[in-house]
């Protein structure tokens, strides 16, 4: 079965000036991006804020990946800032159902992110409520973290059980593993350092996109 596969730049920084530069770079090679938000509690690192993203005048359409505790406290401000989708972590809340419901009532798409150690069985009851599931293939919170290949089997197992659901992967994607990643049947591959830490981010994005398209089933 042929699947559409997308590569999405994941913008992560704690520097508002760098944020502006990364957004300008991104506008030169795509029309959609993900902003990563970190609170220093759910993950050790921190990032730019919603207010700093909202202050940008960008042509990009975008979603947000919340690596934060109490994600429910962020929903309204990201709706006002222009987010099309909110992806939050299963591990960050005891009541993911209520957060999904609130995201939907705000007329945004709801995505659930899953850390490497969380089994697929834990999130199965929530899948019908979600627009997408995002599998983290690194321990979240650090730029350029080490890829965890065991996550690929989780994606294959999830895809067999939920063939119609959008599945994403985020973390540690490089030229040397993107073929194997694309072959799992993921729909969306989120890429950060393999784009933005390269001499030519636009060319790196295009090259990774071509590789993903070639190896998608």
Q: Which residues are catalytic?
A: 36, 170
Query: Rg for the chain (alpha carbons), in Å?
Result: 16
DSSP, collapsed to helix, strand or coil, labels residue 208 as helix
By the 8 A CB rule, do 37 and 65 touch? yes
Distance from C-alpha of 55 to C-alpha of 16, rounded to nearest angstrom: 10
The structure tokens 């999130």 sit at 123
Strand partners, 170: 136, 190
Q: Dihedral sign, CA of 66, 172, 133, 210?
A: positive
CA distances (Å), origin 115, targets 48, 118, 128, 131: 22, 6, 19, 18
Q: How far apart are alpha carbons 155 and 129 in whole angstroms?
A: 18
State the Cα–Cα distance between residues 104 and 26, nearest whole angstrom: 28
């Amino acid at each position: 079965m042929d699947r559409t596969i997308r590569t999405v730049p994941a913008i992560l920084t704690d520097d508002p000036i760098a944020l502006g530069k990364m957004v300008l770079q991104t506008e030169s090679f795509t029309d959609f991006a993900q902003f990563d938000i970190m609170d220093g509690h759910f993950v050790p690192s921190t990032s730019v804020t919603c207010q700093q993203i909202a202050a940008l005048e960008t042509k990009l359409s975008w979603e947000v990946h919340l690596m934060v505790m109490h994600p429910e406290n962020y929903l309204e401000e990201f709706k006002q800032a222009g987010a099309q989708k909110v992806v939050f972590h299963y591990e960050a809340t005891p009541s993911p159902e209520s957060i999904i419901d609130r995201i939907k009532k705000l007329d945004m798409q709801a995505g659930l992110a899953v850390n490497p150690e969380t089994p697929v069985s834990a999130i199965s009851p929530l899948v019908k409520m979600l627009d997408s599931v995002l599998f983290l293939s690194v321990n979240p919170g650090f730029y350029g973290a080490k890829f965890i290949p065991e996550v690929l089997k989780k994606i294959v197992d999830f895809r067999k059980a939920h063939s119609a659901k959008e599945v994403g992967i985020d973390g540690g994607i490089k030229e040397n593993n993107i073929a194997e990643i694309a072959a799992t049947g993921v729909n969306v591959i989120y890429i950060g350092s393999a784009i933005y830490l390269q001499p030519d981010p636009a060319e790196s994005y295009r090259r990774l996109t071509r590789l993903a398209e070639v190896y998608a089933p």
